[in-house]
Structure 1
Amino acid sequence: MSGRSPQTFEFPAWPQFDETERTGLQRALEQGQWWRIGGSEVDTFEREFAEYHGAPHALAVTNGTHALELALQVLGVGPGTEVIVPAFTFISSSQAAQRLGAVAVPVDVDLDTYCLDPVAVESALTPRTRAIMPVHMAGHFADMDALQKLSADSGVPLIQDAAHAHGARWRGQKVGELGSIAAFSFQNGKLMTAGEGGAVLFPDAEQYEAAFLRHSCGRPRTDRRYFHGTSGSNFRLNEFSASVLRAQLGRLAGQIDTREQRWPLLESLLAEVPGVVPQSRDERNDRNPHYMAMFRVPELGEERRNALVDALVERGLPAFVGFRAIYRSDGFWETCAPDLSVDELARRCPNSEALTRDSIWLHHRTLLGTEQQMHDIASVIAETVAAA
């Protein structure tokens, strides 16, 4: 297997598209209204996306970061409040709260699933906590049983960062059936995409209507005299993006089926590689869309991990380093950071520290490949890790 060229791996391309997207774009073009007020594509996509995820209401927005920001604002997050977020996540999770003037409080994650640790969350609750944001890392649900109980006992609402979790299920329940707000991303690498875009699922009409106002500059649908009912911004999705997302949603289930077949094979193969520990799975997460194929190489260290990823890329794998703990980026400290030092947060978040140093992920299009390609992936990883 040594000496493979980058051309050896011919994984399915991403994004994927066919005549369905072309037809949708033509349909949006010819309807004569290219924004959601007056058009039909965004409205239709919202209904279809909400139904697919078991939610009463969905609101399409400009991107996943705006989806989080809008959802937090609906929950009353702002100056003087705190939002608990995983320390190990993409930084949008914390920045959405910080841009509203709230303090983002990083807490540690579980070292097996890479998702928010409920025990750490409970320790971080204060009278100022206004929301708890579990991130369903790589498509794997956070422990929603424990987090829902904690939310009920404390009165602090959950907001699911479901940017990786399109089509996921927890104990048979879809994301929108869990009774809390959930935010999604349709950025170019996500499980369904229009290049950019986002959506928020709401469990009740009151929250949805409040969000609609704020995502459209505070202006009611029928307003003709510029009576803006609340503050807000322009987070409206356009009709062209919605038409593409309708097509993307139509093939999502089949893609998840394929990834659910491939990951158990790849996971078992990676688990046999000395020094490699794949992301594990809580069996209550009975449908995982696998946004990323994630694994660790413990004790390798960040510098050697980075070199390992470079070597995997040279061998033709779409490999990436894992997220950096959010408090280890300068952007986290620019505004509304907790009154703790980096070292103090690191001591509180040992698992996030480990993942910062040693986690690696492969693009989900690898899991759309063949069974043989899973064996080839594992062989290349084994050879490259041994060389490292």
Structure 2
Amino acid sequence: MSSAPAQPALAFPAWPHAGAEEREGLLRALDQEGWWRNGGSEVDCFEREFAALHGAPHAVATTNGTHALELALSVLGVGPGDEVVVPAFTFIASSLAVQRLGAVPVPADVHPDTYCIDVEATAQLITPRTKAVMPVHMAGQVADLDALADLAGATGVAVLQDAAHAHAARWQGRRMGEFGSMAAFSFQNGKLMTAGEGGALLLPDGESHRQAYLRHGCGRPPGDRVYAHLTQGSNYRMNEFSAAVLRAQLTRVEAQIAVREQRSRQLAAALARIPGVVPQGRDERCDVKSHYMAMMRLPGVTAERRTALVDALNGHGIPAFVGFPPVYRTTGYWQGPYSGGAEEIGKRCPVAEEIGGDCVWLHHRVLLADAATVDRLAEVLAEAVARI
């Protein structure tokens, strides 16, 4: 008897998404007198528009999200001998940015439901050397900014939001630029807004904006013609073409997030019915979750089975990936300043240890598909989980 024909691969909207707006923006930038931020207007306009979307007084556009974090840490005065508490479960850029300034990233455990930094665990790690706490809004789920504000008020430690996944997200109705802290964003190719690469930093006041502007352009003030390098810094400037593309992306990000919100709740409900699958939870105080990823755990899965599942999903056209390892379980982490050993850190971060070994995530473009495709995705995932 012949076998049943293979099912066709699922089709999801392409990412990045580009339309006439991006093409018009690129031509607009091309026709300017200059293609860098000091010779054109696209970066200036994008900074104002991005800040306005997030309720921030100011923004500085950067070359990428990692540089936005480095720039923010520099503005906070972080340097050698200082410590910055970071989530143990995050993309390694969060800890690398700290190490690039010669400071020590101190990994804290994360919440088992939201995968965001555990504020109680963080409080136990504050020392006289702690300069900042860097919550990551994992997959667009905003970290507990209320508890972090209380911690900052009690200790004097700054909060720096790693908002690389949290474009247009809200916490109890407040946007990411309305908390009096800096927030760093990424526009890398897979992000919710993209120009291939890029980043931005929201600033809460005029002085932090002045410092960020100086430091992102080799210490030079606006309009400088005499090489007046007023402070340390680097070249983190965004170019005009990237800004033009991002201005177009900005016009549709909120509508796309609204679609992702509907599909995410649909998908999470379906995943929760699959034996052995636990979708990322949600703190409902995050009243706009931007859904950078659809994340889930498979408790007890082996590394081989997890890889086999991801391979099977990709074979069906589903963009699936294994989760991040804890930052201290990477080789690169130990090539910068650090404190303690991997096993010591692992003992205080049991949740990150588990999630780093059993998490799988799907790219956010699956949440831009129609409802029927999302239902079929859940069916395929259930079948794949049952086979591994």
Does residue 267 of structure 2 align to residue 263 of structure 1? no
Could you tell me how far apart the structure 1 residues matched to 2:268 and 2:315 are?
22
Identity %: 61
Does residue 360 of structure 2 align to residue 360 of structure 1? yes
Q: CA deviation at 1:218?
A: 0.5
Could you tell me how far apart the structure 2 residues matched to 1:222 and 1:283 are?
46
Q: CA deviation at 1:302?
A: 2.2
**Is the 1:6–1:316 contact (alpha carbons within 8 Å) kept by the matching residues of 2?**
no
Does residue 326 of structure 2 align to residue 325 of structure 1? yes
Q: CA deviation at 1:294?
A: 0.4
* Equivalent position of 1:12 in the other structure: 13
5 Å-filtered alignment, 1:39-118, equals 39-118=40-119
Letter in 1 for 2:356: T
Please state whether the residue corresponding to 1:119 is helix, strand or coil. Answer: helix
Label 1:146 to 1:3 Cα distance change in 2 as closer, same or farther (>3 A): farther
**Is the 1:302–1:356 contact (alpha carbons within 8 Å) kept by the matching residues of 2?**
no
Letter in 2 for 1:175: M
Letter in 2 for 1:239: E
Could you tell me how far apart the structure 2 residues matched to 1:234 and 1:7 are?
47
Label 1:51 to 1:353 Cα distance change in 2 as closer, same or farther (>3 A): same
How many equivalent residue pairs? Answer: 386
Please state whether the residue corresponding to 1:38 is helix, strand or coil. Answer: coil
Please state whether the residue corresponding to 2:24 is helix, strand or coil. Answer: helix
* Equivalent position of 1:373 in the other structure: 373
Q: CA deviation at 1:4?
A: 7.9
Q: CA deviation at 1:111?
A: 0.7
Structure 2 unaligned residues grouped into runs of 5+: none
Label 1:5 to 1:145 Cα distance change in 2 as closer, same or farther (>3 A): farther
Letter in 2 for 1:379: E
Does residue 258 of structure 2 align to residue 244 of structure 1? no
Could you tell me how far apart the structure 1 residues matched to 2:7 and 2:228 are?
58
* Equivalent position of 1:225 in the other structure: 226
* Equivalent position of 2:387 in the other structure: 387
5 Å-filtered alignment, 1:156-305, equals 156-305=157-306
* Equivalent position of 1:347 in the other structure: 347
Letter in 1 for 2:355: L
Q: CA deviation at 1:335?
A: 1.3
Could you tell me how far apart the structure 1 residues matched to 2:8 and 2:29 are?
37
Q: CA deviation at 1:274?
A: 0.4
Label 1:41 to 1:309 Cα distance change in 2 as closer, same or farther (>3 A): same
Could you tell me how far apart the structure 2 residues matched to 1:57 and 1:313 are?
41
**Is the 1:5–1:315 contact (alpha carbons within 8 Å) kept by the matching residues of 2?**
no
Could you tell me how far apart the structure 2 residues matched to 1:107 and 1:4 are?
49
Q: CA deviation at 1:303?
A: 2.5
Q: CA deviation at 1:38?
A: 2.4
Q: CA deviation digits over 1:345-365, x for unaligned, max 9? A: 111111101111100000000
Could you tell me how far apart the structure 1 residues matched to 2:190 and 2:6 are?
24
Structure 1 unaligned residues grouped into runs of 5+: none
Please state whether the residue corresponding to 1:282 is helix, strand or coil. Answer: coil
* Range that drifts further, 226-235 or 157-166: 226-235
**Is the 1:4–1:315 contact (alpha carbons within 8 Å) kept by the matching residues of 2?**
no
Label 1:281 to 1:32 Cα distance change in 2 as closer, same or farther (>3 A): same
Does residue 27 of structure 2 align to residue 26 of structure 1? yes
Letter in 2 for 1:348: R
Q: CA deviation digits over 1:214-236, x for unaligned, max 9? A: 10000111221112101111100
Letter in 2 for 1:370: D
Q: CA deviation at 1:6?
A: 7.6
Label 1:223 to 1:345 Cα distance change in 2 as closer, same or farther (>3 A): same
Could you tell me how far apart the structure 1 residues matched to 2:13 and 2:81 are?
47
Please state whether the residue corresponding to 2:251 is helix, strand or coil. Answer: helix
Q: CA deviation at 1:313?
A: 1.1
**Is the 2:9–2:315 contact (alpha carbons within 8 Å) kept by the matching residues of 1?**
no
Could you tell me how far apart the structure 1 residues matched to 2:342 and 2:174 are?
37
Q: CA deviation at 1:3?
A: 7.2
Q: CA deviation at 1:141?
A: 0.4
TM-score by length of 1: 0.98
Could you tell me how far apart the structure 1 residues matched to 2:200 and 2:5 are?
41
Label 1:13 to 1:4 Cα distance change in 2 as closer, same or farther (>3 A): farther
Label 1:6 to 1:113 Cα distance change in 2 as closer, same or farther (>3 A): farther
Label 1:330 to 1:3 Cα distance change in 2 as closer, same or farther (>3 A): farther
Please state whether the residue corresponding to 2:184 is helix, strand or coil. Answer: strand
Please state whether the residue corresponding to 2:252 is helix, strand or coil. Answer: helix
Over aligned residues, Cα RMSD in angstroms? 1.1
**Is the 1:6–1:314 contact (alpha carbons within 8 Å) kept by the matching residues of 2?**
no
**Is the 1:262–1:367 contact (alpha carbons within 8 Å) kept by the matching residues of 2?**
yes
Q: CA deviation at 1:310?
A: 1.2
Label 1:3 to 1:330 Cα distance change in 2 as closer, same or farther (>3 A): farther
Please state whether the residue corresponding to 2:224 is helix, strand or coil. Answer: coil
* Equivalent position of 1:140 in the other structure: 141
Letter in 2 for 1:68: L
